[in-house]
Amino acid sequence: MSEILLFHHVLGLTKGVHTFAEHLRQAGHTVHTPDLFQGQTFATLDEGIHYAEQVGFKTLEGRAVRIADELPRHLVYAGFSLGVMPAQKLAQTRTGALGALFFHGCLPPEAYGAGWPTDLPVQIHAMDADPWFAEDKEAAQVVVHSASNGHLFMYPGDKHLFTDCSLAAYDSGATSLLMERVLAFLARL
């Protein structure tokens, strides 16, 4: 079983993030869900983005690194949207990464070094018409093509945070298929 460090999205550590993590735990995985927003949650993406900008993206990444430093080296790094930033940074730069799971986002691998590590397995999941993912799609394709075990899964629809059951954007069918793929990925690590 895997040990996973899972970072929340820009709305904060919502009930839906906890529920997603609990599904992974029920499958036998250890999942850490740190709160990078220190208790703050938001109703809209714009409110969450405003808060993240005020705190500073580098500050949020710094919090994530400090949390990771208290955990074992051999982790799977995962994140939802904004949470992909620290997950991707740690996956690319912290020795011992076993894999990466990115939901609703991806950054160019050059943002955290020379490129994506070829031997680091990765899955990226998003909806094909998600306007928030449109600018990330090219980076996602670069990441998965750089990895010897990389997959980009696109689901029909235009919802951004479709995996969070506490939000109106939730899509149970797409999330069920995503979870099936994630569990298969983790089983192969």
Question: What pLDDT is stored for residue 96 in this prediction?
Answer: 96
pLDDT digits (tens, 9 = 90+) for 149-167: 999 999 999 999 999 999 9
Burial of residue 10 (number of CB atoms within 10 Å: 0-12, 13-18, 19+): buried
With beta carbons less than 8 A apart as the criterion, state whether 36 and 63 touch: yes
Domain of residue 92 covers 3-188
User: What value does the mean pLDDT take over residues 122-143?
Assistant: 98
**pLDDT band, residue 113 (cuts 50/70/90):** confident
**pLDDT band, residue 114 (cuts 50/70/90):** confident
Provide the CB-side half-sphere exposure for 185 (13 A, CA): 27
Question: What pLDDT is stored for residue 121 in this prediction?
Answer: 98
Count of the separate structural domains present in the chain: 1
pLDDT digits (tens, 9 = 90+) for 50-104: 999 999 999 999 999 999 999 999 999 999 999 999 999 999 999 999 999 999 9
Question: What pLDDT is stored for residue 76 in this prediction?
Answer: 98
**pLDDT band, residue 19 (cuts 50/70/90):** very high
Say what percent of the chain tops pLDDT 90. 99
The terminus-to-terminus CA distance of the chain in angstroms comes to 8
Give DSSP secondary structure letters for 92-113: HHSTT--EEEEES----GGGGS
Strand, coil or helix: 76 = strand
DSSP 121: -
Question: What pLDDT is stored for residue 181 in this prediction?
Answer: 98
For residue 119, give the CATH number of its domain.
3.40.50.1820
List the helix and strand counts (H, then E) for the chain.
6, 6
